[in-house]
Amino acid sequence: MLEITSFEATRRLRGTLLLSAALLALIGLTVALFPSISDAGVDLDAYLETLPEEARRAFVGNVTTITTIEGYLVSQLYQFAWVLLLAIYYAYAAASTIAGEVERGTADVMLSLPVSRTRFVVGKFLALVPSVLVVNAVTFLGVYVAVRLVDESIDAADLFAVHAHSVPYLLACAAVGLLASVVASSARRAQTVAIGAVFGMFLLDTLTFDTDYETLGDLAFSRYFDPGAILVDGDLAWGDLAVLAVAAAVLVVVSAEYFERRDLSG
């Protein structure tokens, strides 16, 4: 299993570095704009209050002010790039792991070796873990340095907590893609299902939050990752971390069990 993980992680290294570089560019641009926005004298919080509740939840999360560097980062960076875009990216990446191998016929070659199907699935999933860790480590440093360069200050512990909390969140979303990958008959179909599932959960969380149907939103992984609560309020919910970790583990186990019983001849 570790051989599969090592090989796949090495193969993903270039993509991980490119993703990290793209995020660093986004971070640099986002943070560089903060001083000019802050000095413009525009009452952004008043504008924030005019937005529909659904739009506020989707684009700025639960933050009540975007005039501080913490609230600004949540609204302009974490709520969109981490909660949605990176979640979709890793679900998409995981969706091609098994389905792509089956579609190309290389899964049969691999499974002809003394490698069980469960080890094959779990090894493929674990190969995504280094990518998630590297991306978060690089961007954590990028955000902290960028904030200091514009003469602002931010609590390093809270910033680290945001990135640490995002690890199980992103892996849970990747596990959704993994499940789609073992079920779907083609990589493209698996990717479509994975993207739709993650985006659907995001919408479910957004549209049901603080409504009579709020309990439905508990099915969405984004409900358990709130960058605003961590970065602005310093509130790290350990229970939410546990939910995401358990969800990721359960989805990986279910994926492995399904793949063990799947007929690959068709």
Q: What is the tens place of the pLDDT at every residue in 216-260?
A: 989 999 999 999 899 988 888 899 999 999 999 999 999 999 998
Question: Would you say 245 and 225 are in contact if contact means Cβ atoms under 8 Å apart?
Answer: no
Residue with tokens 């016929």: 105
- How far is CA 247 from each of CA 79, 108, 184, 251, rounded to the nearest angstrom? 21, 29, 20, 6
pLDDT digits (tens, 9 = 90+) for 38-85: 776 656 666 566 666 666 666 666 776 778 899 889 988 999 899 999
Q: Does the structure show a pLDDT above 80 at 110?
A: no
pLDDT digits (tens, 9 = 90+) for 123-170: 999 999 999 999 999 999 999 999 999 999 999 999 999 999 999 999
Q: What distance in Å separates the CA atoms of residue 132 and residue 159, rounded to the nearest whole number?
A: 16
Mean pLDDT of 12-33: 95
pTM of the model: 0.92
